[in-house]
Amino acid sequence: MIYLDHNATTCLHPEVFRVMEPFLKEQFGNASSSYRLGREAKIALENSRKEVAECIGAKSHEIIFTSGGTESDNCAIRGIARNLRAKGNHIITSRIEHHAVLKTCEDLEKEGFRVTYLPVNAQGQVDPDDVRRHIGQETILISIMFANNETGVIQPVPEIGAIAGEEEIVFHTDAVQAVGKIPVHVDTLGVNLLSISGHKCHGPKGVGALYVREGTPLVPVVTGGHHEHHLRAGTENVPGIVGFAAALSIATRDLRTVSQKISQLRQRFEATIMSKIDGVQVNGMNAPRVPNTSNMSFHFVEGESILLHLDLKGIYASTGSACSTGLPEPSHVLMAMGVPARIAQGTIRFSLGKDNTDDEIEFVMESLMEIIAKLREISSLKEA
């Protein structure tokens, strides 16, 4: 098996599993219980909070644990929108956000909010000046992602953060695809809220965090008990949180060496594919990108067909656009970048991880050449 879908999810780091194991077995206490078993869970929880905070340069009490990236995005956007409604009803986001942000904003539109979906340039980047231009009296929230999940393109978050700071508007960034791949320090970003996911950096699924800068006017979306500074009710997922913190620490510790190795692999991969196969484009190639992601469009062939051929060879990747409803539904990210629909349909996202090797990439490149040639032979778009 060659796994090249690390933006979808990652395997659990063995060290992370070891750290989690006691909390799945004998250390099962509820962190809110006052007896010893509970206190031990509470200590583990607070140590994890400190660990996560340190990884992104935050203070412990600025971290709230959630069930993952989607919940963090929901908590941030809905929590601000609801609380600041009296002040204004305008939200600025972009067309290339993850659905966790897009669908949440669409939902808020039904409740009377006005949402601006900013365009991106051909390389997939939001223009900070565009953010500034759209800010009005009514604007209460800006939500722009850190790194795009499909293309890996890094957005100008510090520049947008500076604008948000000047205008005193709450700024949220979905950093699910950035944390663990590139350095993320909240102090340099000017963000109020930042979403993180555990399973994207070799932690467990079902756990994540929301960084909430001190003084951010957030109200809870999930209500109930007094957990997580009253910002997210529900018994804490202690094993998950402990594993998430360990995974993030390891990823942060190894970030420099891993990202260097992965960038070299990607560089070789992209250079070889582009020289050996005609009619290939790497989307967002000229923008700054996280080092692991390569979004490739192969002309004259359809993405899911490439994917199944790769699958039959034991290679796992993903496609942004899936033909599933009979409606034209290519990736919203590539559409926003102005990639023509028929080219967007032939797109594969390869996302590398720390364990991928030279030999694996070699095999993937050979397989791709064979697969693309085979599909083009039967393609009605490719002239014989």
Partner 1 sequence: MAKKSNDWRDLYTKKTEDEPALPDGPILFYNELVIEHFTNPRNVGEMPGADGYALVGDPSCGDQMKLWIKVEEGRISDIKFKSYGCPGAIATSSMATVLALGKTLAEAKKLTDDDVVLALGGIPENKRHCSLMGINALLSAIQDYEKNQERQNSG
Residues that bind partner 1 (CB under 8 A): 300-302, 304-305, 308-309, 312, 321-328, 330, 340-342, 345, 377-382, 384
Give min distance, CB of 375 to partner 1, in A: 8
Is-contact 232 220, C-beta < 8 A? yes
Q: Which is nearer to partner 1, 111 or 311 (CB)?
A: 311
Is-contact 142 170, C-beta < 8 A? yes
Which tokens sit at 266? 């990607």
Give min distance, CB of 319 to partner 1, in A: 10
Nearest to 219 by CA among 208, 209, 233, 231: 231
Q: Which is nearer to partner 1, 275 or 380 (CB)?
A: 380
Q: Which is nearer to partner 1, 47 or 281 (CB)?
A: 281
Give min distance, CB of 295 to partner 1, in A: 17
Q: Which is nearer to partner 1, 216 or 295 (CB)?
A: 295
323 belongs to the catalytic site: yes
Give min distance, CB of 345 to partner 1, in A: 5
Which tokens sit at 378? 């039967």
Give min distance, CB of 384 to partner 1, in A: 6
Is-contact 2 315, C-beta < 8 A? yes
In a 3-state reduction of DSSP, which class is residue 216?
Answer: coil
Q: Which is nearer to partner 1, 275 or 325 (CB)?
A: 325
Cα 312 to chain centroid distance, Å, stands at: 27
Kind and range of the H or E run holding 172: strand 170-174
* DSSP count for the chain of H helices, then E strands: 12, 12
CB-based contacts of 198, cutoff 8 Å, min separation 6: 68, 204, 205, 206, 207, 208, 240, 243, 244, 247, 248
Is-contact 192 158, C-beta < 8 A? no
Catalytic residue numbers read 323
